[in-house]
Structure 1
Amino acid sequence: MHIQVDSDSESARYVLTGPHTGRARELASHTAASNFWIKWPATRDEAQPTMPDGWRLVEPQFLMSARLARAAPTLPYGYSLTMDDEGSALEAKVMTDSGALAASGRLGLTALAVPDQIVTQVAHQRRGLGKAIMGALSNAALDRGRSEGILLASGQGRHLYEALGWRVLSPFWAAVHHA
């Protein structure tokens, strides 16, 4: 599956649904865009894949799922949360009272709710902002008839999601191209 992302850290990605390291290498050999990602499920026991020049393997990723539950997102003093509806996707942002972006996240709406790019800026971490973003996105998904969620988590994100009731289905390899 090809997904256009268009963020500063990720232009687009391929997500493969099976342990197809050979297919990941083939896609990588035909992709020259900077900040392009390829992600695919694979067990930790599999040999570390080799990728073409310009590609780098990154920290482990984890496919996770959850049955969504209604949340009451709370924010510390000095922060506010907004939600922008983009049709098939939603974007949640936590802003400071001075207008600085503190945290954000997106929610893709397919048959499942797909949280993506949940990021808390370093200066605002450890204040519950990621939990507030996930709560707001879960509520939005439930409001739109989705009760199940799926996401790809980084190693750091995995801890947040597990604390919110998400469970790991499979580890994922991830590779990024730097032109």
Structure 2
Amino acid sequence: MTISSVTSTVGAEPARPLSELVAEWISGWVVSRAASEPVARPWGWTIDVGLPNQVARHVIVDADAGSVRDAARHAVADGWWLKVFLPAPHEGPEELVGAWLGAGWAFDDAGFLMSVDLKPVATGPLPPGYELRTWTRGGLVRVMVVAPDGALAARGQAGLSGDVAVPDQIQTEPAHRRRGLGSAVMHALQQRAHAAGATRAVLGATTEGRALYESLGWRTNTAFASAYRVGPNSQH
């Protein structure tokens, strides 16, 4: 899927338009989540997700007070989200975006847009008894690690869109952390994505995930704000 981008520049090397990175991220994210095709808006895109706690999301690039408030006017019910990217790299945009939005909104944990150039990478050895399994179906690469007793220990997936891969939902079960499983999942995803023709990858990371991905050579391009509607029927 190819999504046209707008303008704005990222300070991290190599310099690339921020809107281009965001467009690449959502092009693979919708594959990963089986969401709708992104619909272009003056301020970015709208994506239908179709879940009780996330009906749809507006993705806003080059955000300012006017564009954020305009998007918010098209997100009045519970379950609507805004993903807000400021024109320049920013470490903590929630305070500024919150002032633009006013009442009726809350913020999820901090998010970070990250990217890496894909190259062949070897998956290191797992702890004794653990097994890594991978498969690809419908443009979605899946990886899971099973524990010696057969329980799920770690998992992740990556949506493929042209020459871009978007890793998503990287998780290690609490009982199996600190064993290098998250790194193994990421290496396997990058390996399979590269073999499928992807040359670069983009993802949205949590604070915890950011530390892992930076240790694996990923660049943090910018932080973004994740706001959601709150009301009497909110499930958050």
Shorter-chain TM-score tier: 0.7 to 0.9
CA distance in 2, matches of 1:160, 1:5: 30
Paired position in structure 1 for 2:161: 110
Task: Indicate the structure with greater strand content.
Answer: 1
Give the conservation status (yes or no) of the 8 Å contact 2:58–2:71: no
Aligned length: 173
CA distance in 2, matches of 1:12, 1:69: 36
- RMSD over equivalenced CA pairs, Å: 2.5
1:15/1:106 CA distance change after superposition, 3 Å: farther
Paired position in structure 2 for 1:120: 172
Unmatched tracts of structure 2, length 5 or more: 1-37, 39-46
Paired position in structure 2 for 1:67: 117
**Alignment-mate amino acid for residue 106 of structure 2:** R
Q: Which segment is superposed worse, 55-64 or 136-145?
A: 55-64
> Percent of counterpart pairs with the same letter?
35
Paired position in structure 1 for 2:68: 21
TM-score by length of structure 2 reads: 0.65
Paired position in structure 2 for 1:148: 200
Task: Indicate the structure with greater helix content.
Answer: 2
CA distance in 2, matches of 1:78, 1:51: 52
TM-score by length of structure 1 reads: 0.83
Paired position in structure 2 for 1:167: 219
Unmatched tracts of structure 1, length 5 or more: none
Relative contact order, higher structure (CA 8 A, sep 6+): 1
Greater radius of gyration (CA): 2
Paired position in structure 2 for 1:82: 133
Q: Which segment is superposed worse, 66-75 or 11-20?
A: 11-20
SS in 2 for 1:99: coil
Shift of 1:137: 0.4
Paired position in structure 2 for 1:133: 185
Shift of 1:5: 8.0
SS in 2 for 1:70: coil
**Alignment-mate amino acid for residue 207 of structure 2:** G
CA distance in 2, matches of 1:5, 1:134: 27
Paired position in structure 2 for 1:41: 85
Shift of 1:90: 1.4
Give the conservation status (yes or no) of the 8 Å contact 2:140–2:157: yes
Shift of 1:167: 0.4
Shift of 1:107: 0.4
